[in-house]
Amino acid sequence: MTGSGPDGLFGGLFARGAVRVGDRDWLQAMLDTEAALARALARAGLADAGAGAAVTAAARADRFDVAEIGRQAALTGNPVPALVRALSDSLPAGAREAVHRGATSQDIIDTALMLLARRAIEVIDADLAAAAEQAAELAQEHADTVMAGRTLLQQAVPVTFGLVAAGWLTAIDAARHELSHVRTTRLAIQFGGAAGTLASLGAAGIEVSGLLAEELGLPEPALPWHTDRLRILQLAGALAGVCVALGKIARDVTLLAQTEVAEVAEGGSPGQGGSSAMPHKRNPVISVVILGCTRQAPGLLASLATAAEHELQRAAGAWHAEWQPITALLRLTGSAASWSVPLLSGLRVDTGRMRANLDAAGALPLAAHDLDAAADPAGYLGSSAEFIRRALAAHAAVATQELPTSS
């Protein structure tokens, strides 16, 4: 989408936070991959000793014309050939042999994606950790705040707002767990050359592959995964899981913030939530924007699942179909995670309104079960307190574990 970058027309909504996956970020990740390969080749004795350092010094995105590389990509089906030419042209003759040697375009783009994903996951996880802490505080503070439970959007038996927040908390923690699993086990270099054999490097192929992984701080897979796209799908699934967890929170807030319900309200800066046509309104704009991000995730995940079947040793079009959906999914998940922090930290809970709405329904939802509890809904909360305790204990265990950072 035009204007979806951090400084674009929609960037403040859909590119909030520190996840950066724009054109220049992609370009830098590709350059980082090329530079790491040059260093690996030099270490393996397949390039001049100073070639790796020379390529690394030149591999800065601000030295290259992104638009021109993009235009030339139309001639080859991807931007790597044009980037390789531009990078080689910027180097002394002795260092040029270290550029792209042994690699194919997919090696560079797939590995660049892994670098972008690693950085994005670290940012997303930090925001999720902050959001989880806020949810935990709400769960603890409102463990005894009685409110109407609602099933099929109708009032049911009572619950506590602490239990609602505990549900948010466990979903965030579960989403973080999946992200961590992908971060530590599924991100890996891609390096297989023309058909996944590294034949152009002869007997040195495996050595260079290991050195490339070491240079980038990414795992070396058992073999190249050019047409095995499970890693991409698992990454996308973990990101979509984050969107599910955050979308649930945002949807609950929009429902509880309705004028007729008014049990919660968003905080936010002055002017936030204003309406262009109805000055009296205060819209739950943070929740709305989170939903604007998260509701795009299923379609993007479906596109990536559809594109995951790659034929033989190199796909004709399916690989190309991944680039924009995975970029958008990283950006939108990062934005939703960033928005979730002010949503939960600024959430205002009206406990009096919660009790009033519950009392307005009368005792009928409880009468068939327990006449004594019908007189006091706080006596009909079942195992709510224990569920909240369990959620907080599980979160405390999660909070002691830190996601590994980039090397």
- The one catalytic residue in 63, 71, 200, 275 is 275
> Could you give the angle at the alpha carbon of 146 between the alpha carbons of 140 and 147, nearest 5°?
115
- The one catalytic residue in 24, 60, 314, 389 is 314
287 noted as active-site residue: no
SS3 readout for the chain: CCCCCCCCCCHHHHCCCCCCCCHHHHHHHHHHHHHHHHHHHHHCCCCCCCHHHHHHHHCCHHHCCHHHHHHHHHHHCCCHHHHHHHHHHCCCHHHHCCCCCCCCHHHHHHHHHHHHHHHHHHHHHHHHHHHHHHHHHHHHHCCCCEEEEEECCEEEEEEEHHHHHHHHHHHHHHHHHHHHHHHHHCCCCCCCCCCCCCHHHHHHHHHHHHHHHHHHCCCCCCCCCCCECHHHHHHHHHHHHHHHHHHHHHHHHHHHCCCCCCCEECCCCCCCCCCCCCCCCCCCHHHHHHHHHHCCHHHHHHHHHHCCECCCCCCCCCCHHHHHHHHHHHHHHHHHHHHHHHHHHCCEECHHHHHHHHHHCCCHHHHCCCHHHHHCHHHCCCCHHHHHHHHHHHHHHHHCCCCCCCC
Bridge-partner residues for 309, per DSSP? 228
Residues 6+ apart with CB under 8 A from 252: 164, 168
Task: List the structure tokens of 28.
Answer: 């830098």
Cα–Cα dist 36/251, whole Å: 44
Amino acid identity, position 218: L
Task: List the structure tokens of 381.
Answer: 């909360």
Cα–Cα dist 235/301, whole Å: 10
275 noted as active-site residue: yes
Q: Which residues are catalytic?
A: 275, 314
